Chains A and B, each alone.
Chain A
Amino acid sequence: MRIFVLVKQVPDSTEIKIDPRTGNLLRQGVAAIMNPEDRHALQAAVELAAQVGESSVTVLTMGPPQAIDVLTEALACGADKAVLLTDELFAGADTWSTSGVLARAIQHLGGAHLVLAGRQAIDGDTAQIGPQVAEALGMEQATYVQEIEYLDGELEVERRMGEHLERLCLPLPALVTVVAELNVPGHPRLDLLLLACQDRAPIEILNAADLGFKAQEVGLAGSLTEVVETFSPKSARETEFLEGSPAEMAAALLGRLKAAKLLHKGGLE
Chain B
Amino acid sequence: MTIRIDQQSCDGCVRCLAACPYGGIDIADGKAVLNLRCTHCGTCLDACPQGAILSDAGTRRIPDFSEYRGVWVMAQQEAGGLHPVSLELLGKARELAEHLGQDVSALLLGDRVEPLVGALFAAGAQQVHLVEHPALAGYRTLPFSRAAAQVIQSQKPEILLVGATPMGRDLAPRLARRLGLGLTADCTGLEIDAQERILRQTRPAFGGNVMATIVGRYSRPQVATVRPGIMKPLPPEPGRQGRLLRHNVHIPSQDLRTTLLKTIQVPRSGVDLTSARVIVAGGRGVGNMAGFALLEELAGVLGAELGGTRVAYESGWIPHERQIGQTGVTVRPDLYVAVGLSGAIQHRAGMLDSRFIVAINKDRAAPIFDVADFALVGDFSKIVPAVISAAQEA
Contact = CB atoms under 8 A, between A and B. Distances in A.
B18 interface: yes
A162 interface: yes
Nearest to A171: B257
Interface string A66-95: 000000000000000000000011011011
B326 A132 contact: no
Given A22-B18, A250-B386, A230 B262 contact: no
Interface string A220-238: 1101111111111111011
B258 A169 contact: yes
Given A91-B41, A127-B169, A249-B383, A242 B344 contact: no
B394 A228 contact: no
Q: Most chain-B Cβ atoms within 10 A of its Cβ — which of A22, A245, A253?
A: A253
B124 to A, nearest CB: 24
A43 interface: no
A16 B302 CA distance: 31
A241 B41 contact: no
B40 interface: yes
B167 A250 contact: no
A14 B39 contact: no
Contact of B205 (A95, A165, A227): A227
Given A22-B18, A95-B183, A227 B169 contact: no
A25 B41 contact: no
Interface stretch (A50-58, A183-191, A256-264): A256-264
Nearest to B313: A180
A233 B23 contact: no
Contacts of B209: 13, 16, 18, 25, 232
Interface stretch (B66-74, B94-102, B170-178): B170-178
B291 interface: no
B323 interface: no
A230 B43 contact: yes
Contact of B207 (A11, A20, A89): A11
A137 to B, nearest CB: 10
If over half of B's interface residues share one DSSP class (helix, strand or loop), that class is named, otherwise mixed; here it is mixed
B200 interface: yes
B327 interface: yes
Contacts of B151: none
Given A11-B207, A127-B169, A268-B335, A167 B260 contact: yes
**Contact residues on B (Cβ < 8 Å of other chain), bracket:** 35 or more
Contacts of B180: 96, 224
Interface stretch (B103-111, B115-123, B367-375): B367-375
Interface stretch (B128-136, B216-224, B244-252): B216-224
A136 interface: yes
Contacts of B200: 228
Interface stretch (B5-13, B152-160, B232-240, B357-365): B357-365
A134 B215 CA distance: 24
Contact of B21 (A167, A230, A234, A246): A230
A14 B284 contact: yes
Contacts of A91: 1-2, 39-41
Contacts of A224: 180-183, 216, 218-219
A96 B222 CA distance: 13
B345 interface: yes
Contact of B170 (A131, A219, A232): A131
A149 to B, nearest CB: 11
Contacts of B374: 239-240, 242, 253, 256
Contact of B210 (A122, A130, A232, A267): A232
A4 interface: no
B386 A249 contact: yes
Contacts of A28: 23
Contacts of A13: 207-209, 344
A267 B393 CA distance: 10
A249 B378 contact: yes
A268 B370 contact: no
A260 B334 CA distance: 10
A195 interface: no
Interface in B188-245: 200-201, 204-219
A262 B356 contact: yes
Given A163-B265, A254-B391, A141 B170 contact: yes
Contacts of A268: 277-278, 302-304, 335
Given A20-B364, A227-B214, 6 more contacts: A88-B40, A89-B1, A130-B173, A140-B257, A228-B46, A230-B19
8 contacts: A25-B206, A91-B40, A95-B183, A233-B370, A246-B379, A253-B358, A257-B356, A268-B278
Interface of A: 10-11, 13-14, 16-20, 22, 24-28, 36, 64, 88-89, 91-92, 94-96, 99, 122-132, 134-136, 140-144, 156, 158-171, 180, 215-216, 219-221, 223-235, 237-242, 245-247, 249-251, 253-254, 256-258, 260, 262-263, 266-268
